[in-house]
Structure 1
Amino acid sequence: MGRLETERLLLRPPTLRDVPALFEFLGDPQAMQHTHLDTSLRQCRRRIAVHERRRRRDGYAPWTVRTKQDRSIIGWGGIYEDPFDPGWGVEVGYAFHPRVWGRGYATELAQFCVDLADRALMLPELNAFAKADNTASRRVLEKTGFEELGFEPALGRLHYRRARG
């Protein structure tokens, strides 16, 4: 897919060197209060490795998200089929370090994912999931064209879907 970037973000497949910086937030109970928490560096490394195997198979998986400004790692996310909770189709997901919350990075990444899914990957739809009390993530999904389908008891989350535009 070549170099992937947005106005303020650089996106690339994660490497093992990224794991300590990613674990700063993927292993932070506050940052991950609405989704899966990695409880050790080993678990974080495994999650990333499993997603990278899916990238080789599917052609897409979450990226390490860096700022263009200083190239610091601030997030992890993208388009993927969740290997840990399969059967929900292609999803958009993201997690960001709390130090950058409220700056619009999640919306910028989600919009990039929508555009990529529509124009390059030609995916018929994208799914996303958010806990009902995660108002920030729900707002991101609504701003990027996702429609709420309802509560999924199996996941304990609201299910969102966006058809190709």
Structure 2
Amino acid sequence: MRNIGSQIETPRLLLRPSRLSDTPALFEFLGDKEAMKHTHADVTPGECRRRIAVHEWRRRRDGYAPWTAVRKKDARIIGWGGLYNDPFDPGWGCEIGYFFRRDAWGYGYASELVAAALHFADRELRLGEVRAFAHPENTASRKILEMAGFGIVRFVPEMNRLLLSRARRGDNIVDRDG
């Protein structure tokens, strides 16, 4: 993994700040009710554009926000996710989230994005904790989070979501990539 300015390069993905011009490609899945059945689906491209704009404003303020995930082999936008303080449901601290096109599911892209985001949280931001939410029926997402070291804190009934948490990994992390 390489951190290139505000971009991160993983073996198969380029994670870069979102652009408003990404809206049509991102809306293909952020507006897909089936792909987003366990979370919020944008109703219109304008709503998706607003989500992107608000998160990018937060990137300038907080130093992090979800990235657009571009598959390196074909330069196709396949996902959106990373670290963020949710501007639409504030108060939970730094969270991690990830959303992918349905045709990109099952290839390990979410795990790759989560690993890169947590490395960034631990090494660059030095965050003490990262949280995540998962719908109880979204076993695939829960598995990704649990494999990344997240543990269930509690069920949040008003959200119908599990709250998960992961403490920062220590300074003695061995970085095999240098």
For this structure pair, what is the TM-score category when the shorter chain's length is used for normalisation? over 0.9
Deviation, 1:155, is: 1.8
User: What code does the residue aligned with 1:157 have?
Assistant: R
| CA displacement 1:38-68 (0-9 Å, x = unmatched) | 0000000001101011011001000100011
| CA displacement 1:43-100 (0-9 Å, x = unmatched) | 0000110101101100100010001111100000000000000000000001000001
CA contact (8 A) 2:8 2:116 kept: no
Give me the TM-score of the superposition, normalised by structure 2: 0.91
Gaps of at least 5 residues in structure 2 are 170-178
Q: Distance in 2 between matches of 1:109 and 1:38?
A: 22
Give me the TM-score of the superposition, normalised by structure 1: 0.98
What root-mean-square deviation, in Å, do the aligned CA atoms of Structure 1 and Structure 2 show? 0.8
**What's the counterpart of residue 155 of structure 2?**
151
Aligned: 1:140 with 2:140: no
How many corresponding residue pairs? 165
Aligned: 1:59 with 2:91: no
User: What code does the residue aligned with 2:129 have?
Assistant: E
Q: Distance in 2 between matches of 1:59 and 1:143?
A: 26
**What's the counterpart of residue 80 of structure 1?**
84
CA contact (8 A) 2:79 2:100 kept: yes
**What's the counterpart of residue 121 of structure 1?**
125
CA contact (8 A) 2:153 2:165 kept: yes
Secondary structure (helix, strand or coil) at the match of 1:120 reads helix
Q: Distance in 2 between matches of 1:133 and 1:40?
A: 26
**What's the counterpart of residue 16 of structure 1?**
20
Q: Distance in 2 between matches of 1:126 and 1:105?
A: 19
User: 1:38-53 maps to which residues of 2 (within 5 A)?
Assistant: 38-53=42-57
Q: Which structure 1 residue ranges, 4+ long, deviate > 2 Å from structure 2?
A: none
Gaps of at least 5 residues in structure 1 are none
**What's the counterpart of residue 115 of structure 2?**
111
Q: Distance in 1 between matches of 2:165 and 2:68?
A: 24
Q: Which structure has the larger Rg over C-alpha atoms?
A: 2
Query: Identity percentage over the alignment?
Result: 60
Deviation, 1:154, is: 2.6
Deviation, 1:150, is: 1.6
